[in-house]
Chain A
């Protein structure tokens, strides 16, 4: 059985919680005691419907009080075909950073459109973020079709409008489904109210959609997380480099180059889950042994010699600023890429993106909460990276404020969006 991670963005008003609630409820993923609590709560909040499904996903008191989603919630369900992890993320612009967080690990984005309103600024903002994050597949779910009399022409218009807008984005695959989460049309089973729609229901779509993992990241990339050195009598010379294969595959005998030292060596042994293997693949946890006695510590990157990686003390990137406090010139930062960390400063703010319209703006040098900016970062040590477009694992990083320890920005290397 495979695992699919997807995210939904929106608020109660968009029918997002109802949609997720419907998926969980109709796939028998909600237990009776939880339904009992929800029914009790629904009466307290005074909402008329049988069960207020938003109460299922909005897990914090502040969210229930205000009727909005503030932070990401993770929900789980499975069918006989797949296991699903839903990152349920907020729709409001002020919580863009939380949406970005939930979306970063997703392989599929579900963007909800209210059939009555068509494509809105929110739809655009969510699509732009999905595009920046390189989400391989976007599903536009045109919801509340029951409120527009299941009008086919209207649905086709929304489809056309979105397709025109999406041309300026980097979305690889776009699909559309007309639905009503509240009435259950096309959520789990096909709707009899929309016989003109021949495609799958949402659940059928989720079960069948092809999962694309690391976009075009076929070159082997490995980063050391931890050095295993038992230092016991019988394992005196044992020295293994532990980490997950970030992309591609590595096998015994591969000639590799170790960054940042540029040393060349050969893989002599690979262990994975306590057994020796000849070859290991993307995502697999391994302990790698090399022929030569080199200086290799946490954060070092291994690549095959003919598949070179960029290694520079300068990184051009699009960042999403996530700190409540605005960026201050000369601010001391740490750049973390997987397990690699180095001191960093933002040298130049080169442009800004209006994420409501996808317009590229001149920078005034400021970076505020939820801003998307193109920046030039200088680092103390060389960063070994690929462009995010080429490899999501080696092309992404976070920035940490050295003083407060907070994660202040998420970065995507050499993205062409701006």
Chain B
């Protein structure tokens, strides 16, 4: 038997999972954030379904705090692919449901996007939502199944997870419930970059080094100055060569100092880094040991 490369194996597993979604569900959706992981999912969906159309729309829950480069990339990609893009805005959910917007210096809409996500699932009666989460990101995620069943409130119950054996996926749910599906569960951050390199996948420019004005926080994180955050007089404003390691809200995702201009340079940089992807870039997971577990139980991705 010929030895196959580990990227081929991870790719085959992801394509298999995407086709299981297509075969098992009536109204699936692919949650697209414009980040590298969901961009890989779109690339994998091409391999799974072309020359046919995707059996699902791309859905973006737009917090309104995204980098403009990412939104531009999203729209171009959907047009180039000729696939349906559904955008639902957290801004609208805040108005409709009379919710309290994020407050403080770095106002996060992270908890609010769960409302928009659940409303969107209800609006379109999605029975499966494909997402780009990876088990190496966080230790609660390390415990989650590839087909993760959520109740009608979107909640994850780690104690009631279905056994998931071999590559047999049970996506059977009742009306109102849905399954979150994670085709690249077994990929690490480095695997994603190696795949992007091999497949020559195009990414939004903020992943590569560029000059940007940032606030240097007390914890040493670089937060880009922008209209969504509150800039105070005593803030230390610096201009640095930075890139984003993960794409998230501009209010709670830090940039990292980097000179990496190409995918090759990013891979070299990652091999030498000592800090995890979430640790380097997220402000919201540092709150408690079980922050992610709790958010997932509340319907978060």
Contact = CB atoms under 8 A, between A and B. Distances in A.
Interface in A316-352: 322, 334, 336-339
A244 B16 contact: yes
Interface stretch (B17-25, B59-67, B96-104, B235-243): B17-25
Given A273-B47, A400-B172, A213 B1 contact: yes
A336 B168 contact: yes
Interface string A62-85: 101000001111111010001101
B139 A73 contact: yes
Given A76-B188, A283-B12, A392 B163 contact: no
A222 B298 CA distance: 40
Contacts of B4: 2, 281, 283
Contact of B15 (A230, A244, A405): A244
A114 B65 CA distance: 53
Contact of B166 (A3, A225, A273, A392): A392
Given A1-B5, A98-B163, A238-B51, A285 B170 contact: no
B37 interface: no
A3 B10 contact: yes
Contact of A33 (B165, B168, B279, B289): B279
A393 B53 CA distance: 29
B41 to A, nearest CB: 15
Nearest to B170: A407
Contacts of A405: 149, 170, 172-174
Contact of B22 (A97, A226, A396): A226
Interface in B7-33: 8-12, 15-16, 19-20, 22-23
A62 B293 CA distance: 11
A235 B170 CA distance: 32
Measured as residues with beta carbon below 8 angstroms from the partner, the interface class of chain B is 35 or more
Nearest to A70: B159
B166 A60 contact: no
A265 to B, nearest CB: 21
B293 A61 contact: yes
Interface residues of A, number: 68
A117 interface: no
B47 A2 contact: no
B274 A59 contact: no
Given A33-B275, A101-B164, A230 B52 contact: yes
A104 interface: yes
Interface string B128-169: 000000011001111100000100000000110111111110
Contacts of A282: 1
B6 interface: yes
B135 A31 contact: no
A34 B279 contact: yes
Contacts of B149: 405
A397 B168 CA distance: 7
A366 B173 CA distance: 27
A76 B172 contact: no
B280 interface: yes
Given A3-B9, A228-B49, A334-B172, A60 B280 contact: no
A37 interface: yes
Given A60-B293, A228-B52, A398-B168, A71 B158 contact: yes
Nearest to B292: A59
B289 A41 contact: yes
Nearest to A37: B289
A108 B5 CA distance: 18
B46 A274 contact: yes
Given A397-B168, A400-B170, A242 B48 contact: yes
B47 A60 contact: no
Nearest to A4: B6
A229 B168 contact: no
B186 interface: yes
A273 B53 CA distance: 15
Contacts of A100: 163, 165
B70 to A, nearest CB: 25
A143 to B, nearest CB: 23
A196 to B, nearest CB: 35
Given A34-B276, A225-B16, A3 B161 contact: no
Given A1-B6, A336-B170, A76 B136 contact: yes
A105 B168 contact: no
A98 B143 CA distance: 11
B165 A104 contact: yes
A105 to B, nearest CB: 6
B161 to A, nearest CB: 7
Contacts of A78: 188, 190
Given A213-B1, A405-B173, A225 B165 contact: no
B16 A285 contact: yes
Contacts of A31: 273-276, 279
Contacts of B47: 273-274, 285
A123 B281 CA distance: 43
B168 A230 contact: no
A238 B53 CA distance: 13
A2 B16 contact: no
28 contacts: A31-B279, A57-B139, A59-B140, A62-B159, A64-B289, A71-B161, A76-B135, A83-B6, A83-B191, A98-B163, A225-B16, A225-B22, A226-B19, A226-B22, A228-B51, A244-B15, A274-B47, A282-B1, A285-B47, A322-B163, A337-B168, A338-B167, A339-B23, A393-B166, A396-B165, A398-B165, A405-B149, A405-B172
Q: Which 3 A-B pairs have the closest CB atoms?
A: A33-B279, A59-B139, A3-B6
Given A62-B159, A226-B19, A228-B49, 20 more contacts: A31-B279, A33-B275, A33-B280, A61-B289, A61-B290, A74-B135, A76-B188, A83-B191, A238-B52, A242-B48, A243-B16, A244-B16, A274-B46, A285-B15, A336-B168, A339-B23, A396-B165, A398-B168, A407-B163, A410-B165
